[in-house]
């Protein structure tokens, strides 16, 4: 069981580092203020989920869930 705990701890550390880097790579919410003047109807506004920003948002959600699950599993007394 000690080996499993060590592997999960290393995995949690790696997820934490990647999670932090992904969050820092995202644009701030104030960058989207062009939507007020109608700029949201551009190609990038319609296809935001397929862009790099959309990918970063999805990856942030997945890594956040992985971080929480790993933290909960490591908190169990086994």
pLDDT tens over the chain, length 78 residues: 899 999 999 999 999 999 999 999 998 876 555 556 555 555 555 566 678 888 999 999 999 999 999 999 999 976
13/4 Cα distance (integer angstroms):
14
The values of phi and psi at residue 32, to 5°, are: -95, 20
What's the predicted TM-score (pTM) here?
0.72
- pLDDT given for residue 9 in this prediction: 96
- pLDDT given for residue 51 in this prediction: 85
- pLDDT given for residue 44 in this prediction: 53
75/61 Cα distance (integer angstroms):
21
∠ Cα 37 39 42 (to 5°): 160
All structural domains of the chain with their residue ranges: 1-21+45-78
Report which of 35, 26, 27 is spatially closest to residue 63, judged by C-alpha positions.
Answer: 26
- pLDDT given for residue 73 in this prediction: 95
């Amino acid at each position: 069981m000690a080996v499993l705990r060590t592997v999960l701890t290393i995995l949690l550390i790696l997820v934490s580092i990647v999670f932090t880097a992904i969050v820092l790579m995202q644009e701030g919410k104030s960058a989207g203020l062009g939507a007020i003047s109608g700029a949201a109807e551009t190609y990038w506004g319609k296809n935001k989920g397929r862009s790099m920003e959309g990918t970063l948002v999805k990856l942030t959600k997945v890594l956040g869930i992985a971080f929480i699950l790993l933290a909960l599993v490591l908190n169990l007394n086994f």
